[in-house]
């Protein structure tokens, strides 16, 4: 019966069945990435880290479908195209016009091997942010950043290897403990401060979550995930209504490992802003998130002496 039915179809609908299956699978992964379990090698998080790049599969399958003149594969491609557009299409829309009172922020992992700290600081200041968050600050370079940024940012705070520079006064600055249990004492990579912007206070968190590694066993992200959980608890307990999180989170906003954060903070509505690695960026792991505020747009800035690209965002405070 099946053979009779397929034989009755035009040739263009009988060719390319493998391509059609690949298209359907790609659409399913785009629409339901969490169907891939994280129990073995955290494969789900690994997929989510590079989820936008599944669009390249659509391009390749489209080209092959045209070469094979497979109407079946071309029809099946409508599924991943629709899924990609639903998931990421909004990020491609033009950035909204700057609004009065928008908060401009810059987030950058400056790298602890950066040989050009002064040039890096000057490049970041050119974006004219209201807030500047830096990670991987090392003791020998800290005076250079403080001296270079002093004119544009009269207020700043540093805790461990993270720092916040601001055009507005800072208050209630404290170190935040997000150290995974297996990491030795002295590891200090997060702070919390209240920034007194016109119209009230904003709780600003600066964080650098542990790195992840990709190997034969999959994605090693347990420390990152544990640290994200601790940061999420701190933000959940924050009494200030408006919250902004700036940091190198070593994960994309689609990665379920960052659920403790993305479940309670909004992410950018416009812009991909892939930030890592700087030579050929494939993912945005430098993030700007907010509560009771809207991250209207995010973009990358020119490269510095770091292996990350800086990102700049506009935030409409609620």
Length of the chain, in residues: 318
Q: Which of 242, 247, 232 is nearest to 293 (CA)?
A: 242
User: The tokens of 292 are what?
Assistant: 């009771």
Q: Where are the alpha helices (DSSP H) in 101-240?
A: 117-125, 142-149, 222-236
User: The tokens of 234 are what?
Assistant: 């701190």
| 3-state SS record for 12-67 | HHHCCHHHHHHHHHHHHHHHCHHHCCCCCCCHHHHHHHCHHHHHHHHHHHHHHHHH
According to DSSP, residue 238 is labeled: -
- Specify the pLDDT at position 11: 54
The answer to whether the CB of 314 falls within 8 A of the CB of 102 is yes
Look at strands 103-109 and 190-197 and give their pairing.
unpaired
Ordered per-residue pLDDT tens for the chain, 318 residues: 445 444 444 555 557 889 999 999 999 999 999 999 998 899 999 999 999 999 999 999 999 999 988 889 999 999 999 999 999 999 999 988 887 789 999 999 999 999 999 999 999 999 999 999 999 999 999 999 999 999 999 999 999 999 999 999 999 999 999 999 999 988 999 999 999 999 899 999 999 999 999 887 789 999 999 999 999 999 999 999 999 999 999 999 999 999 999 999 999 999 999 999 999 999 999 999 999 999 999 999 999 999 999 999 999 997
User: The tokens of 297 are what?
Assistant: 């747009």
Spatial separation of the C-alpha atoms in residues 305 and 115, rounded to whole Å: 6
Cα 5 to its chain centre, rounded Å, is 48
Look at strands 218-220 and 213-215 and give their pairing.
antiparallel
Q: Which of 251, 261, 269, 170 is nearest to 212 (CA)?
A: 251
- Specify the pLDDT at position 214: 87
| Secondary structure (3-state) at 184 | coil
Residues 6+ apart with CB under 8 A from 243: 202, 203, 204, 205, 235, 265, 290, 291, 292, 293
- Specify the pLDDT at position 68: 85
| Secondary structure (3-state) at 165 | strand
């Amino acid at each position: 019966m099946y053979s009779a039915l397929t034989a009755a179809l035009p040739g263009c609908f009988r060719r390319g069945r493998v391509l059609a299956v690949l298209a359907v699978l790609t659409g399913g992964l785009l629409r339901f990435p969490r169907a891939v379990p994280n129990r073995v090698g955290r494969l789900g998080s690994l997929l989510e880290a590079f989820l936008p790049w599944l669009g390249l599969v659509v391009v390749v399958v489209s080209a092959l479908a045209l070469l094979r003149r497979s109407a079946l594969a071309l029809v099946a491609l409508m599924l991943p195209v629709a899924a990609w557009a639903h998931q990421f299409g909004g990020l491609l829309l033009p950035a909204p016009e700057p609004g009065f009172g928008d908060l401009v922020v810059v987030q950058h992992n400056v790298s602890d091997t950066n040989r050009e700290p002064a040039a890096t600081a000057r490049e970041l200041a050119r974006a004219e942010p209201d807030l500047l968050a830096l990670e991987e600050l090392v003791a020998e370079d800290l005076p250079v950043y403080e001296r270079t940024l002093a004119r544009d940012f009269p207020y700043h705070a540093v805790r461990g290897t993270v720092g916040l520079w601001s055009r507005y006064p800072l208050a209630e600055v404290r170190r935040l403990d997000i150290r995974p249990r297996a990491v030795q004492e002295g590891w200090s990579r997060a702070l919390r401060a209240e920034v007194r912007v016109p119209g009230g206070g904003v709780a600003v968190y600066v964080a650098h979550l542990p790195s992840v590694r990709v190997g034969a066993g999959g994605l090693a992200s347990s420390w990152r995930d544990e640290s994200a959980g601790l940061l999420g608890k701190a933000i959940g307990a924050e009494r200030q209504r408006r919250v902004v999180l700036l940091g190198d989170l070593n994960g994309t906003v689609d990665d379920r490992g960052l659920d403790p954060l993305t479940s309670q903070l909004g992410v950018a509505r416009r812009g991909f802003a892939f930030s890592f690695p700087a030579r050929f960026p494939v993912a945005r792991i430098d993030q700007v998130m907010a509560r009771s505020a809207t991250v209207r747009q995010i973009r990358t800035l020119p490269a510095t002496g770091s292996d990350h690209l800086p990102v700049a965002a506009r935030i409409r405070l609620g």
